[in-house]
Amino acid sequence: MPVLNDASHVRDAVESILAQEYDGPVEVLIALGPSIDGTTELVEALASRDARVHVLENEVGSTPAGLNIGIRAAVHPVVVRVDSHSMLPVDYTRIAVETLVRTGADNVGGIMDARGETPFERAVALAYTTPVGLGGSAFHVGGREGAVETVYLGVFRRSALERVGLFDETIKRGQDWELNRRLRQTGGTVWFTPELAVTYRPRSSLERLARQMFSTGLWRGELARRFPAANGLRYFVPPAMVVGVVLGLVLGVIGVVQAAMGQAPWLLVGFAVPLVYLLFVIAATFAYARGRGAATAGWFVLVLPCIHVAWGTGFVLGYLSLTSNIAEHTGR
């Protein structure tokens, strides 16, 4: 588990690991980045109370660096990748290992079961688990068991991780997808099973959500540029929407200027693009948030564009090879 400045979630995540009903030896390796919010003290306290918990220093602080530190320190043949925002069900490890043995897969994963506690978090969780939010991948919305492109988190054969050279530490986000790409390229199988469902706690504010989505989109754009043949069409929908809405607004404003100057305001037609997107958001809210409470539905109207615009804008910038410069200035 890579951890950095996450004192509000890490205790629940670690306790869910320690509660696993698994008949075999287990070690919990926490790769701790330089934190300033009390995470360091909390993690050290958890380690002092249970001999299975080991804290490893992650000076770089990035997720892939922390994952690699943990993998290299691990002594067992199965590696369970855990996020500090996730909580594992008690049978998670047992089912995952049984599935590894049964299928011969290199990596097994399940559903990212987003669950919020506040109306805002519930709106984010709803967006995560519907096709209109994050694209409808099986690990978001569920599906049949079988071989897939990628999964949430993952339970790996350590030998498979070593075969492909662990995580690429130059990729700060989307490193799971890129690793699974290499596993598949070298003859391995990435296996999805809906039996595995990991509770995920969404970001708690619009600002944090926007930052997360922008960073995720930025690196997704970088990956699309690096590996053009390995990307599905769904990755290009949000950036196409962002470009279309921006161009539509610009053309519409020019149309207003045309009208003010007494010319034929034919460019006002540009406003049709943002209008169509607005109608899409309203329709999606009616379809998915109806009956979930007025507060959750109200936030959903804001959350959906936040995800699309932040992710799509990040994707465009990442695809234009601006990832390194932006990450250097923002720390993401």
List the domain range (segments joined by +) for residue 255.
233-330
Give the pLDDT confidence score for residue 201 in this predicted structure. 85
Contact partners, residue 162, CB within 8 Å, separation at least 6:
none
Which CB contacts under 8 angstroms, 24+ apart, belong to 320-327? 320/221, 321/222, 321/225, 323/218, 323/219, 323/221, 323/222, 326/218, 327/172, 327/215, 327/218
Q: Number of structural domains, the chain?
A: 2
Is 223 domain-assigned? no
Is 51 domain-assigned? yes
320 in the same domain as 247: yes
188 in the same domain as 97: yes
Per-residue pLDDT band for 137 (boundaries 50, 70, 90) equals: low
* Residue 315 or 142, more confident: 315
117 in the same domain as 68: yes
Whether the full predicted model's pTM is greater than 0.85, yes or no, is no
Is 215 domain-assigned? no
What whole-number distance in Å separates Cα of residue 92 and Cα of residue 113?
A: 13
162 in the same domain as 28: yes
Q: Convert the pLDDT of each residue in 289-332 to its tens digit.
A: 988 999 999 999 999 999 999 999 999 999 998 665 555 555 55
Q: CATH no. for residue 178? A: 3.90.550.10
Is 100 domain-assigned? yes
What whole-number distance in Å separates Cα of residue 275 and Cα of residue 268?
A: 12
Location of structure tokens 């993690």: 43
What whole-number distance in Å separates Cα of residue 135 and Cα of residue 238?
A: 9
What whole-number distance in Å separates Cα of residue 270 and Cα of residue 249?
A: 6
**Where is 304: in which H helix or E strand?**
helix 294-319
Helices and strands (DSSP H and E) totals, the chain: 14, 9
Is 174 domain-assigned? yes
Among residues 162, 188, 203, which one ends one of the domains? 203
103 in the same domain as 19: yes
Is 222 domain-assigned? no
169 in the same domain as 251: no
Is 209 domain-assigned? no
Work out the percent of the chain whose per-residue pLDDT is above 70. 95
Q: Convert the pLDDT of each residue in 157-200 to its tens digit.
A: 999 999 999 999 999 888 999 999 999 999 999 999 999 988 88
Is 240 domain-assigned? yes
47 in the same domain as 156: yes
